[in-house]
Amino acid sequence: MVKVTVCGAAGGIGQPLSLLLKQSPLITHLSLFDIVNTPGVAADLSHINTKAKVTGHVGTAQLEEAIKDSDVVVIPAGVPRKPGMTRDDLFKINAGIVRDLAVAAAKFAPKAFMCIISNPVNSTVPIVTEVFKHFNVYDPKRIFGVTTLDIVRASTFVTELIGGDAATLRVPVVGGHSGVTILPLLSQVAGTDKLSQEQIEAVTKRIQFGGDEVVKAKDGAGSATLSMAFAGARFALNIVEAAVNGTAITECTYVHLDADKEGAKDTKAVVGELEYFSVPVQLGRNGVEKILPIGAVNNYEKKLFDEAVPELKGNISKGASFITEGAKL
């Protein structure tokens, strides 16, 4: 039995993400939570002839039943950017939304794998951590910031330059999930040696600011939803596959480096005392099985790390202190 709850399931990401999850033969219960419209979305999806039973839950009074005993909780709840905004501008509204959902998960599904999509991811993941610590149910192996869209974009954009199959080209992207904190490690990708330094820098910027491309094109109607649903489903389904079948799947994801202290040593050597970083992680039955080395980084990439670290540090402490110095939970 595998219960997956999507919080924010009626939204731009939530709906297509739920559709993709409904196709998994491994999920037996797909629970849809939102503050609006989930009865309709659930009724609609429930007619699809795949295994998962679909239930809809609307409003905070139904959050407990929605989330109770979930194996996986995916959170794309909250407001998206409009042109001119940074992800950090969303903190004011989304921090409280993620906190309240994390409180419900800590109380009613403390063992769930938490997959956080809501922005700013660099800060919302520390919020979830601090809430779980407060309720004494914290396990860093089970809390993930979903940065898969950066990896998906990197595969697409790099393939446009070097050719090959975007579906199978793996580009490690580490760091965080906003602008300069997004660190594509192109020097580790076979075939990028054909590119000029100018091309490398341009595609690096494109990956870092891919979200802005969509925000601009949508012109006030929100940010990436369909590509995020694809990326979120890929990540959540990898978590499910690893948990159910023990398959060792490697994916870059934003985690607390305590999730595997030994494995994180090589990352720590580069990023200092930073607590969170998106790193290549081997997933398994208990979430993070191993943090894998970030590998060799060239001089240009080192410079990018230097820009990312102070920004990430600020984002992390902003999220953590929202709980540790905020109103009583």
CA distance 224 to 227: 6
Q: Is 119 annotated as a binding residue?
A: yes
14 vs 56, beta carbon nearer ligand OAA: 14
Backbone φ, ψ for residue 157 (5° rounding): -65, -40
Contact 18, 75 (CB under 8 A): no
11 vs 175, beta carbon nearer ligand NAI: 11
In the DSSP assignment, the letter for residue 49 is -
Reply yes or no on whether 177 is catalytic: yes
Q: Does 184 bind ligand NAI (CB under 6 A)?
A: no
Q: Which residue carries 């970083």 as its tokens? A: 277
Which residue is closest to ligand OAA by CB?
211
In the shown chain, the binding pattern of residues 72 to 91 toward ligand NAI, with x for contact by CB under 6 A and - for none, equals: ----xxxxxx--------x-
Residue closest to 270 by CA, chosen among 179, 175, 177 = 175
Q: Does 175 bind ligand NAI (CB under 6 A)?
A: no
Instruction: List the catalytic residue out of 29, 57, 134, 177.
Output: 177
Of the candidates 121, 125, 151, 242, which one interacts with ligand NAI according to CB under 6 A? 121
Q: Is 9 annotated as a binding residue?
A: yes
Which residues are CB-neighbours of 45 under 8 A, at least 6 positions away?
18, 19, 22, 30, 32, 54
Tokens encoding 127: 């919020």
CA distance 159 to 151: 12
Q: Does 35 bind ligand NAI (CB under 6 A)?
A: yes
Q: Is 228 annotated as a binding residue?
A: yes
Which residue is closest to ligand NAI by CB?
11
SS3 track for 27-42: CCEEEEEECCCHHHHH
Looking at residues 213 to 232 of the shown chain, list those that interact with ligand NAI (rule: CB under 6 A). 222-225, 228
Binding interface with ligand OAA (CB under 6 A): 80-81, 87, 119, 149, 211, 214-215, 223-224
Q: How far apart are CB 168 and ligand NAI at their closest, in Å?
A: 21
Which residues are CB-neighbours of 79 under 8 A, at least 6 positions away?
90, 93, 94
Q: Is 139 annotated as a binding residue?
A: no
Q: Is 143 annotated as a binding residue?
A: no
Report the interface residues with ligand NAI, using CB under 6 A.
7-8, 10-14, 33-36, 76-81, 90, 94, 97, 100-101, 117-119, 121, 146, 149, 177, 222-225, 228
